[in-house]
Amino acid sequence: MNSISVIGTGYVGLVTGTCLSEFGIRVVCMDVDAAKIQALSRGVIPIYEPGLAGLVAKNLESGRLRFTSDIAEAVAASNLIFIAVGTPPGEDGSVDMQHVLAAAASVAENMTDYKVIVNKSTVPVGTGRRVKALVRGTLERRGLAGLEFDVVSNPEFLREGSAVRDFMHPDRVVIGSESEKAANLMRDIYNVLYLIDTPFIFTTLETAELIKYASNAFLATKITFINEIANLCDAAGADVHAIAKAMGLDGRIGKYFLHPGPGYGGSCLPKDTLGLVAIGKEHGVPMSVVAAVIAANDAQTRRMIGKIEAGLGELGGRTIAVLGLSFKPETDDMRAAPSVPIIEGLIAKGCRVRAYDPVAMENAAKGALARHAGTGSFASCADEYDAAKGADAVVLLTEWNQFRHLDLQRLREAMTGRFFFDFRNVYEPKDMAERGFVYAGVGR
């Protein structure tokens, strides 16, 4: 039976390890966070990701999946070691590589036989070579200069909220490697995907590393483009949905990622666009399109506060109900969620915010919005109708399914005002007007 180890048990590492164990591979997942590992060993998963808990429980039970905080155990368990640790943005937007380098160093300190070090984290071009040099240096220091190893780049494209399905049915698998032996071992691990005709791209380390940034930056560009068209629609009285539909029917454009909103967020697009600009700078190649996308996206989020102000007038003393905090539905991830700058902006203008999210309340309360707890300007509410109590306006920020079917009469009765800012364009402007709301969407 094939086996792998995964270092880093967050959104990507846990999904990777669990899904590969579901493919029949023996998997050891390792993390430096001992509390997380203890919980996972009991089948308690630390994130909200549909379908994941059941798979973790099933594969723990079968013995194919296990968790450890002991790096030596993880390195000894397999020849293929996936690194799936965080690569957050540094102060200047460049990619903070400390966790990847620490993970690679810990593998080098513990290996005693041939290993393939597979980088799944999103990392700047050149990282594979940097990891190679680091491992080689460590092995020489340990008197193991002759020990063979390979480094592979295998970027991940899963989306939070549909991570299990995305991992099991990817659009493509990218494998960057200079070694045929390592590439063959990777092909073996992904055998199940091979059998369902998933396209595989075998390429160099550098190309694989850049594929990930190019893909994410392009997605961010598409979102930002339609957001700007939506803003023009607002000003010119056109309907962005009809425009997006007509554009999307053009096969050269494609229909995805053409839905306007309050700006992209999450743990990937914001940091990877910043990262690509920094990587370009390092290589003396301006990433001017992506730099413009970042600026336009920041402006889009601020623009939402302007929309609320344009509707309500003076914001001081207003009560605003915010529905949805996570950066998108079906996740509890609050990293770079547009809800945070929007709520911060409303509070700075003197609003009281009453917020509700089906799963992200806990992360919001202990993370980015923690400083407002107990100040009277931010309240965590029990549900959408509780959030609407005494509100001058409702702001829909995340299109959770339960917000698509609101009891609008109940909502209206709980509010003192009539404004409904639908920043995900879930409702029809005409219907909302008929129900007595003063409605504003994005671009229609």
Ligand X SMILES: NC(=O)c1ccc[n+]([C@@H]2O[C@H](COP(=O)([O-])OP(=O)(O)OC[C@H]3O[C@@H](n4cnc5c(N)ncnc54)[C@H](O)[C@@H]3O)[C@@H](O)[C@H]2O)c1
Amino acid at 242: A
The encoded tokens of residue 78 equal 């397999």
Does residue 368 interact with ligand X by CB under 6 A?
no
Does residue 9 interact with ligand X by CB under 6 A?
yes
Q: 149: helix, coil or strand?
A: strand
Q: For the CB of residue 388, give the shortest distance to ligand X in the complex, in Å.
A: 31
C-alpha torsion angle, residues 423, 427, 429, 433 (rounded to 10): -110
407, burial (CB in 10 Å: exposed 0-12, middle 13-18, buried 19+):
exposed
Determine contact, residues 114/147, Cβ cutoff 8 Å.
yes
Q: For the CB of residue 287, give the shortest distance to ligand X in the complex, in Å.
A: 17
Q: How far apart are CA 269 and CA 293, in angstroms?
A: 11
> Judged by CB under 6 A, which of 122, 127, 380, 398 binds ligand X?
122
* Sign of the four-CA dihedral 300, 301, 303, 304: positive
Residues from 214 through 233 that contact ligand X (CB under 6 A): none
Q: For the CB of residue 279, give the shortest distance to ligand X in the complex, in Å.
A: 14
Q: How far apart are CA 360 and CA 347, in angstroms?
A: 19
Q: For the CB of residue 254, give the shortest distance to ligand X in the complex, in Å.
A: 20
Does residue 267 interact with ligand X by CB under 6 A?
yes
Contact flags string 20-59 toward ligand X, x per CB under 6 A: ----------xxxx--x-----------------------
Pick the catalytic residue from 19, 29, 233, 268.
268
* Residue 399 backbone phi and psi in degrees, to 5: -85, 55
Does residue 170 interact with ligand X by CB under 6 A?
no
> Judged by CB under 6 A, which of 4, 25, 84, 364 binds ligand X?
84
Pick the closer one to ligand X by CB: 203 or 377: 203
Amino acid at 431: D
> Judged by CB under 6 A, which of 121, 227, 301, 380 binds ligand X?
121
Q: How far apart are CA 401 and CA 338, in angstroms?
A: 19
| Residue 19 falls in the annotated catalytic set | no
Tell me the site size for ligand X, rule CB under 6 A: 26
Q: For the CB of residue 92, give the shortest distance to ligand X in the complex, in Å.
A: 17
Amino acid at 175: I
Does residue 189 interact with ligand X by CB under 6 A?
no
In 292-381 the beta strands, taken as DSSP E runs, fall at: 319-323, 352-356, 378-380
> Judged by CB under 6 A, which of 26, 66, 99, 307 binds ligand X?
99
Residue nearest to ligand X (CB): 10
Pick the closer one to ligand X by CB: 102 or 295: 102
Strand-pairing partners, residue 152, are 118
Q: Give CA 319 to chain center in angstroms.
A: 30
Candidate segments 84-92, 200-208, 359-367, 379-387, binder of ligand X by CB under 6 A: 84-92
Candidate segments 8-16, 20-28, 57-65, 393-401, binder of ligand X by CB under 6 A: 8-16
Q: For 390, how many CA atoms within 13 A lie in the half-sphere containing its CB?
A: 10
Does residue 310 interact with ligand X by CB under 6 A?
no
Q: For the CB of residue 224, give the shortest distance to ligand X in the complex, in Å.
A: 19
Q: For the CB of residue 33, give the shortest distance to ligand X in the complex, in Å.
A: 4
Q: How far apart are CA 322 and CA 50, in angstroms?
A: 23
CB within 8 A of 281, min separation 6: which ones? Answer: 287
* Residue 193 backbone phi and psi in degrees, to 5: -70, -35
Pick the closer one to ligand X by CB: 156 or 392: 156
Does residue 11 interact with ligand X by CB under 6 A?
yes
Contact flags string 130-169 toward ligand X, x per CB under 6 A: --------------------------x-x-x---------
Cα separations in angstroms, 436 against 15, 388, 409, 416: 45, 15, 9, 12
Strand-pairing partners, residue 28, are 5, 66
Q: For the CB of residue 37, give the shortest distance to ligand X in the complex, in Å.
A: 9
List, by residue number, the catalytic residues.
268
Q: Which residue ranges make up the site for ligand X (CB under 6 A)?
A: 7-13, 30-33, 36, 84-87, 99, 102-103, 121-122, 156, 158, 160, 267-268
